[in-house]
Amino acid sequence: MDEISRHVYSEEEKNHIFNEEFLPLIHSMYNFGYRLTLDADDAKDLVQDTYLKAYRFINSFQKGTNAKAWLFRILKNSFINDYRKKSKEPGKVDYQEVEAYYNSDEVDRQITPDLRVESLKDMIGDEISNALNSLEVDFRTVIILCDLEGFTYEEMAKILDIPIGTVRSRLHRARQLLKEKLSSYARSMGYKNT
């Protein structure tokens, strides 16, 4: 954590920040934890650990800055350090391959989606959740951060410790993979021309 901008808060200030700024984010934090670990109990532990760490390092949180981005970064780091090994994770993705894909002409042909709004409207069950959970964790993460939590490229880059260009290409690829999954669900639901 950033040692340079260290503040020293009084006990009262600490508790105020924790209770008023950190704890109200519990649902977003839990959802992020759940989508990372894909396990309700692990998510609970991960969120709890994150909050305890957040309190311990609260002096490195600058009041008035984005508490949510700060907490999400701690959660993501805790996940990598403590949980990633034991979670059910498919193999890692070769990002160079992803970048190469993004920079190729192949991308443009994807502008016409192989998916219709009508078939999406019929996905009233767990299809979307299953599709999201089936993505490799790094792709899942950017979808959550952008589409559910509304973080900017800059915030995502900080949370994930990656360059903005990588955020952009990862997000692009993640959306495509999600659509591919949803298209295959649509086909299995009987939509001929998905």
Partner 1 sequence: MNTPFNPFTLPGGEAPTCIEMLQLILDGESTREQLEYFVLHMEQCPPCFQSYEVDMQIRQLLKSKCCREAPSGLKEAIQIKLNGQINF
Residues that bind partner 1 (CB under 8 A): 18, 23, 26-27, 29-31, 34-35, 40, 44, 47-48, 51-52, 55, 107-108, 110-113, 115-117, 120-121, 123, 126, 128-129, 132, 143-144, 146-148, 150, 152-153, 168, 171-172, 175, 178-179, 182
Least distance in angstroms from the C-beta of 16 to partner 1: 14
In this structure, are residues 167 and 142 in contact, taking their beta carbons and an 8 Å threshold? yes
d(CA 109, CA 12): 57
Shorter beta-carbon distance to partner 1: residue 29 or 137: 29
- Taking CA atoms, 47 is separated from 16, 127, 132, 158, in Å, by 19, 26, 20, 19
In this structure, are residues 59 and 70 in contact, taking their beta carbons and an 8 Å threshold? no
Q: How many CB atoms lie within 10 A of CB 80?
A: 13
Shorter beta-carbon distance to partner 1: residue 5 or 163: 163
Least distance in angstroms from the C-beta of 80 to partner 1: 21
d(CA 189, CA 194): 10
Shorter beta-carbon distance to partner 1: residue 85 or 132: 132
Least distance in angstroms from the C-beta of 170 to partner 1: 11
Shorter beta-carbon distance to partner 1: residue 89 or 114: 114
Least distance in angstroms from the C-beta of 4 to partner 1: 26
CA Rg value for the chain: 19
